[in-house]
């Protein structure tokens, strides 16, 4: 999938980008830039830990025999300047998958030019092609990209919160749960 997209914004203003960029499916050779841009996103979000996977991990997970993610990239003049990483999710009892957007990132100097919207449009196309029921994502309250999500038609799900069990809390609970399961005969 290659799409040429015009620069958006004030037609009278001098654009920060020339008139076109390309959105395409990521290739194995894009993995180092996927990792770099994801790390930049994590730093911007104040996530204390960085990436844990190696280039080989990313290659196997995205381009191996059973890929666990799909990625699209935004390119300008041969440089990757934006990414979206997503995966298909199956829910017990549902006949159609959903698509979960893991990461959307555009280099700061290239934002507000339509790249995020174009990357999301690629995800929407993939969702349609896979017969997905919907596309979902999580976003931090203070993330200005929430405006983009609203403009593209995403709706906030009322009364839903995201909970995560990880790190030492996960280990502690799993250890205590193992004792409970043994008592229950499992």
Question: Cβ(74)–Cβ(115) under 8 Å?
Answer: yes
Higher pLDDT, 83 or 173: 83
Instruction: Using alpha carbons, select from 36, 41, 2 the residue that is nearest to residue 143.
Output: 41
Q: What is the pLDDT of residues 143-167, one digit of tens each?
A: 889 999 999 999 999 888 888 888 8
pLDDT score at 176: 85
The token pair at 163 is: 């909970």
User: Is the pLDDT score of 181 beyond 80?
Assistant: no
* Torsion, Cα of 44, 159, 118, 9 (10° steps): -80
The whole-angstrom separation of Cα 108 and Cα 136 is 23
pLDDT score at 105: 96
User: Is the pLDDT score of 26 beyond 60?
Assistant: yes
pLDDT band at 179; cut points 50, 70, 90: confident
Which segments of 45-141 does DSSP mark as H helices, in order?
55-63, 115-129
* Numbers of helices and strands, H then E, in the chain: 5, 6
pLDDT band at 14; cut points 50, 70, 90: very low
Please state, rounded to an integer, the average pLDDT across all residues of the chain.
Answer: 86
Q: What is the pLDDT of residues 114-134, one digit of tens each?
A: 999 999 999 999 999 999 999
- List the single range of 6-20, 33-47, 104-118, 166-180 with lowest mean pLDDT: 6-20
pLDDT score at 121: 95
Positive or negative, the CA dihedral 51, 57, 60, 66 is negative
Q: What is the pLDDT of residues 65-109, one digit of tens each?
A: 999 999 999 999 999 999 999 999 999 999 999 999 999 999 999
| Domains in the chain: boundaries | 2-160
Q: What is the CATH number of domain 2-160?
A: 3.40.630.30
């Amino acid at each position: 999938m290659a799409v040429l997209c015009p620069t958006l914004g004030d037609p009278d203003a001098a654009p920060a980008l020339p008139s076109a960029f390309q959105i395409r499916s990521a290739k194995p050779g894009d993995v180092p830039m996927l990792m770099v841009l994801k790390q930049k996103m994590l730093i911007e979000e104040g996530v204390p830990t960085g990436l844990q996977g190696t280039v080989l991990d990313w290659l196997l997970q995205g381009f191996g025999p059973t890929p666990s993610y799909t990625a699209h990239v935004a390119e300008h003049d041969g440089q990757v300047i934006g990414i979206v990483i997503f995966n298909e999710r199956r829910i017990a009892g549902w006949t159609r998958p959903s698509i979960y957007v893991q990461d959307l990132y555009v280099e700061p100097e290239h934002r507000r030019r339509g790249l995020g919207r174009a990357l999301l449009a690629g995800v929407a196309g993939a969702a349609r092609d896979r017969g997905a029921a919907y596309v979902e994502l999580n976003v931090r309250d203070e993330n200005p990209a929430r405006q983009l999500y609203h403009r593209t038609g995403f709706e906030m799900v009322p009364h839903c919160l995201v909970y995560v069990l990880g790190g030492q809390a996960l280990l502690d609970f799993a250890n205590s749960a193992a004792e409970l399961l043994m008592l229950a005969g499992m």
